[in-house]
Amino acid sequence: MSDSRRHLVIIGGGPAGTQAATTAASKGGRVTLIEKEIVGGAAHLWDCIPSKTMAASALRHSSVRNAAKLGLSTEPTRVDTGVLAERIRVITGDINRNWLELLDSQAVDVVSGHGRFVSDHEVIVETESGERRIGFDRAMVSTGSAPRVPDWAPVDGERVLTTRDCYDLDEVPEHVVIIGSGVTGVEFTHIFESLGSKVSLVVSRRQILPLRDAEVAAVLEEDFIERGVHLAFGARAEKIDVDGSGISVFCDDGRILHGSHALLAVGSVPLTDRIGLEEAGIAASNGYIEVDEYQRTSVPHIYAAGDVTGQMPLSSVASMQGRKIARHALDLPVTPLDYSKVAEAIFTEPEIASVGLVDVEAAAQGRKVRTMKVPFAANARSVLQHFTRGFVKLTSDPATGVVLGGTIVGHRASELIGVLTLAVQADVTVKQLVETLMAHPTMTEAISDAAE
Ligand SMILES: Cc1cc2nc3c(=O)[nH]c(=O)nc-3n(C[C@H](O)[C@H](O)[C@H](O)COP(=O)(O)OP(=O)(O)OC[C@H]3O[C@@H](n4cnc5c(N)ncnc54)[C@H](O)[C@@H]3O)c2cc1C
């Protein structure tokens, strides 16, 4: 008996692909998910999950190192990279298994292999047992991205690394020179320094996190400097030499930074070659697939989501785009994603998180906002936990009092931002935030205090 359900074929099983698959299957669609490596995607194998698993060990290690400040004496600690690597393998393996079980329970056809379009209604998958042709009514591209490797960087996975080489190192590197001070660069600066490495960070501009508010970056810079991280401001790496004892990073201003390892954190490139975009007639610009507000490509029955679109390269955004595509592909009601209300977090210590319209963006747009700020040094829980660095900063509409956005720099800011995200999403007013009685003593009190 032929299957009359609408058939959605998805190439790439990361957050975008898996979420689209389970949503479409639960809404009555027939789904084929093509994945060449691991279901769960780069997000689970290489990016979010392993880096945050390492960050969890890093945070515990730095807590132990600083325990004396809380009246605890400890023996010298040792980092066992083997245990750390095994923990990452177990966690990513579990996530992969859970996804496969869920997809199986929803009768999603998971095909292992490299998928590519051969026309605007058919893909070919190169599987271990040969080629398989699959026709579709709707399709979605979610093939993700990979670390950018400049042609001057001799990446070997031993001394010159990308982030993907960091999860299975034999030992904690003695001295890592990290090239790139965006989100990935600062997260790995925090991780390696906390695990005991000496870290030098090549910062091409005058501040780390160049896309962020200078006040926010300054808190982290101060923290890094206190921890002994060398910040090489205004230096652009252009060559790496590897010799027997380590690496040397040569910068455009003549500076040379020596270390045991170099780590590249200079962005990513979309994985859109060899997937038949031309054969399907899908338009792309610099490798990124062009999409409209419903994630439709130039071929309206083919969608794209996640890092391949170059929109907001976050796992959370990719997942939401995938869910929305599934609904749209099945002609169910769906609203476009509002990117202005997406919460973002940087998992350093202190963490940095923001949502909505923050004061610097408002100023750049010439929009009048009210800004309220409270330092964590004035918050009881922060003081007693010995995490006093950072602040909560809110912006609101001076006419209506509606909370427009905010930034939190501090311990567990990635969790605290949830309160503000809900406030921004639900158009909560400053007055309502003030009247919200938070538990005491907690760091969430800093949010209502800022509103006050
Ligand atoms: C170090 C690092 C840490 C990060 N941490 C966070 C974080 O904490 N929070 C956050 O929100 N975001 C984080 N990100 C970003 C996040 O990882 C990406 O935004 C997310 O992975 C994008 O999801 P995706 O579905 O587009 O693609 P991916 O997760 O990249 O998945 C794409 C999948 O497609 C498969 N594929 C590719 N080509 C083909 C093909 N031709 N056929 C079949 N399969 C194919 C790949 O094997 C892969 O499994 C981090 C990124 C990095 C680099």
Cβ–ligand 1 distance for 12 under 6 Å, the answer: yes
Cβ–ligand 1 distance for 17 under 6 Å, the answer: yes
Of 35, 114, 143, the one to substitute when testing ligand 1's pocket (max ligand atoms within 8 A of C-beta) is 143
Instruction: List C-alpha distances in Å: 211 to 144, 145, 181, 263, 384.
Output: 22, 20, 10, 21, 32
C-alpha–C-alpha distance, residues 156 and 243, integer Å:
12
Q: For ligand 1, atom 17, which residue shows the shortest CA distance? A: 43
Cβ–ligand 1 distance for 316 under 6 Å, the answer: yes
Ligand 1 mean position, distance from CA 332 (Å): 26
Q: What pLDDT is recorded for position 77? A: 84
Token pair for 148? 């950018």
Ligand 1 mean position, distance from CA 439 (Å): 37
Q: What pLDDT is recorded for position 1? A: 60
Instruction: List C-alpha distances in Å: 160 to 97, 152, 155, 308.
Output: 32, 11, 5, 26
Q: What pLDDT is recorded for position 151? A: 97
* Cis bond upstream, residue 350 (ω within 30): yes
Of 116, 163, 275, 307, the one to substitute when testing ligand 1's pocket (max ligand atoms within 8 A of C-beta) is 307
Q: For ligand 1, atom 53, which residue shows the shortest CA distance? A: 47
Of 240, 165, 168, the C-alpha closest to 202 is 240
Give backbone dihedrals phi and psi of 129, rounded to 5 degrees, phi first: -100, 15
CB 450 within 8 A of CB 374: yes
Cβ–ligand 1 distance for 50 under 6 Å, the answer: no
Instruction: List C-alpha distances in Å: 384 to 90, 220, 356, 441.
Output: 35, 21, 30, 9
pTM over 0.85, yes/no: yes
C-alpha–C-alpha distance, residues 423 and 169, integer Å:
42
CB 401 within 8 A of CB 430: yes
Helices (H), 281-391: 315-329, 359-364, 380-385
Ligand 1 mean position, distance from CA 145 (Å): 6
pLDDT lower than 50: segments of the chain:
none
Which atom number of ligand 1 is nearest to the Cα of residue 48? 5
Which atom number of ligand 1 is nearest to the Cα of residue 114? 42
Q: What pLDDT is recorded for position 141? A: 98
C-alpha–C-alpha distance, residues 307 and 325, integer Å:
15
**pLDDT single digits (tens) 362-383:** 888 999 999 999 999 999 999 9
Q: What pLDDT is recorded for position 43? A: 87
Ligand 1 mean position, distance from CA 45 (Å): 8
